[in-house]
Chain A
């Protein structure tokens, strides 16, 4: 529990959240609330447990060196902590996205999906 190295392989659900965070940051730096907002807009499911679960995920990505944090001023002029992708994070996002696509294509071929599209 104490100093165990974070898992390199991302768990499916957890990985989804991690991937979504990376994806969100691909468009530029953002603070926690903004990330939550964006993800919430894209996928209601993942953050269903509450915005709170975003923060452990951010810490995990920080530790893996995929993102970095910096202090800045938010849109309504308050001090906030901004996150941005590192080069490593960008590469990882690319790898994971293509893997994800392959996987979801494979799954899509096996299961004929119900004609319902996420928002």
Chain B
């Protein structure tokens, strides 16, 4: 570069000298000095060209050209401010959106969890288990976990945990809090170090000790450094805090719930108090051992162990801890990335159209430059430089926007979604965005270049009345198509949302308040709890303004549901493996309070209690699956026991008689979930010492139907609890309809995001269409003038523009619908109650697009109609 600068100066001197000598010669030959100089210059020819060609020989010139091009581009863009601002905003919008979602995908889905060698951490679970009784499909029994610990050589560590919600007393009062029971080796397996104090050690299993999460330490213990050794009461039992976990350790869900960790207390048989499979299992695979080998190894151990394990061995699955954490957000994030990619494409098409318009207005300039000796390649380089410059500025703005958006997302959702507290824009991502900008810039430059080339070729035919370009129209059609895709997806989401809102939850949620209570002392005698809960039920029933009350272990939209998934056999029907039903305990007034329809038979009555057999209600799904073609009412069912299984395996052997059939009722918080076969047992009629009764008395969920205002009924219920059962802690108290709204929160967020993208896309398309039509009318002024002079009416001229707009929409809609169908298929798992290609949504989207196109075409059409034919003819 500097070498060439010196050489160039030398060359300039040399050329000056050359011309001076020539001038001198001319003077000597008798010319006047002025004339002599002019003649010498003429003879020499183009000085800058000679310099440029000389530079090319040395290969230095390209750098100089880039500097020149950048300066030229800056000047040119500075002169066309409106154009530049529009272009940069369009591109920054597209790239900012892509960068934001990319940053989230990168931080959440791609980066390893911030634990040492976190790729080796796996969650081990049994898939689709249909045997015996379990808390969740993820859980194993502690005996099984102990076997893993002992016999599986592929594991460097095995840890178990079980998440509960329990009342926790600290100095600041009693609060319901997440209490996670962990095996003492869990944190060592994860590789966590404490922030204060120590982790659990092997001897802690029988000790009254606890660890707390950073959130719990800050919120409940005021972040006191003297926390270690402090005593807190966890569900009635005093425990000593021995350590505080670091801030980024949000185990197991990755969310910011204040959490207390206590050692799992196992009895002599190695089972916990509930006698159920309740341990979620985390394993650390040894270095160098693959996931497949480890799983095979585990299955082998299970297959050669006792009968129960052997039956389970091929249901064992492993999923990485990261995937387990982020499984819920994985699909939505990829879908969002797809949506923003479409948005970026639309922005690019818009940018290309803006540039084509500008290139057309610069044609005279280009022609002059070509006439002065600029090659096509030179013009190309200059245009691409300008484009890349614009793209890079847009990318910088977009990245800034993404950075802010990511910061806001982290602040808003950091505690709600797993790993969202780790959100940040990493440097490799910025490089990717810069690269994307260069690609986008080069791609967007292709449009104007093609148009310049075509116009240059057609220069000879410049007398043509109409100069029409097809490319902008194609780009607009592309935008319309892509917008159609985004709008279709938003429409499908909207329809899904509406269908979910209209789902009949079985339970009529209107005027129902739900109250969840739990004994503060977890080790309180089950019989006492049961009596207290029954007493409260009757007390609630007697409150003024309360129509009816029911207790239910599973209420729609409650997060404290407790459902038993048990193998079920119908007497007189052969049993098949894997036939289970969900069991929910309810109180006598269940049918009346819930408003659920009784389809056959009768409801529970007070007199059932004295009867010998246990009476139950079943739902439609149960009848459909197990009692099809039989008399449902009067059928007898029981828990199925395999030969040799005893009370210890299946703890409940009583016969149950179906007395009625009710409609399906929503079980959990997911409105779109399929209905499971369900058996309702009257809780009060269970034998008092039965294990089921004991398990179910650990928590009480009441649903109170009342026409009283929300706050009044809440206050009444609270005061009743205070008087009647101060030993019960309140977990939640809210109207059931609020639960529905909360359960739709995530869907609403997705709907808003995709709908927002759709709106932006629509706006960009409208701007693009307006630009192209306006430009086309300008180009066609002569044609329009001549048409009008020859007798065309203003209406027909308007029609001309409208037809052009119509053609663009039509040509966009056809591939757009195909694309929408593909997109609908891709997001089908998010849809509920609507087909992937819904005709109603499609008609709506088409209508919106046509309306927007009409609006966009209105001004250009008006301009076309106002062309004065005289003016045009005069110009001819």
Contacts and interface: CB of A to CB of B under 8 A. Distances in A.
A51 interface: yes
Given A32-B18, A33-B17, A51 B44 contact: yes
B693 interface: no
Nearest to B65: A1
A36 B18 CA distance: 9
B59 A74 contact: no
B62 interface: yes
Interface string A59-80: 1100100000000001010111
B265 to A, nearest CB: 75
Interface stretch (B47-55, B625-633, B667-675, B862-870): B47-55
A52 B59 contact: no
B43 A63 contact: no
B47 A52 contact: yes
Given A51-B44, A52-B50, A76-B24, 17 more contacts: A1-B62, A4-B59, A50-B43, A51-B43, A52-B47, A55-B11, A55-B53, A55-B54, A56-B54, A56-B56, A56-B57, A59-B11, A59-B57, A59-B58, A78-B20, A79-B17, A80-B17
A33 B18 contact: yes
Contacts, number: 73
Interface residues of A, number: 26
B732 interface: no
A27 to B, nearest CB: 19
Q: Which 10 A-B pairs have the closest CB atoms?
A: A50-B45, A52-B45, A52-B50, A56-B53, A33-B21, A59-B54, A59-B57, A3-B59, A51-B44, A2-B62
Contacts of B838: none
Main SS of chain B's interface residues? helix
A60 B24 CA distance: 28
A29 interface: no
12 contacts: A1-B56, A4-B59, A32-B17, A33-B21, A50-B43, A51-B22, A51-B43, A52-B45, A52-B50, A59-B58, A80-B14, A81-B17
Nearest to A79: B17
Interface of B: 10-11, 13-15, 17-18, 20-22, 24, 42-47, 49-51, 53-54, 56-59, 62
Given A33-B17, A55-B11, A60 B57 contact: yes
Interface of A: 1-4, 6, 31-33, 36, 49-53, 55-56, 58-60, 63, 74, 76, 78-81
A49 B46 CA distance: 9
Contacts of A49: 45
Contact of A2 (B43, B50, B59): B59
Given A36-B18, A63-B57, A81-B14, A53 B24 contact: no
A33 B394 CA distance: 51
A63 B11 CA distance: 14
B384 to A, nearest CB: 14
A55 B17 contact: no
Contact of A52 (B17, B20, B49, B56): B49
A13 B49 CA distance: 18
A103 to B, nearest CB: 25
A59 B60 CA distance: 12
A1 B66 CA distance: 13
A55 B59 contact: no
| Interface-centre pick from A32, A52, A58, A79 (highest chain B CB count, 10 A) | A52
B21 A55 contact: no
Residue of B18, B49, B59 contacting most chain A CB atoms (<10 Å) = B18
A4 B369 CA distance: 26
B18 to A, nearest CB: 5
Contacts of B22: 33, 51
Nearest to A5: B59
A50 B14 CA distance: 16
Contacts of A31: 14, 17
Contacts of A81: 10, 13-14, 17
A25 to B, nearest CB: 16
Nearest to B47: A52
Contacts of A79: 17
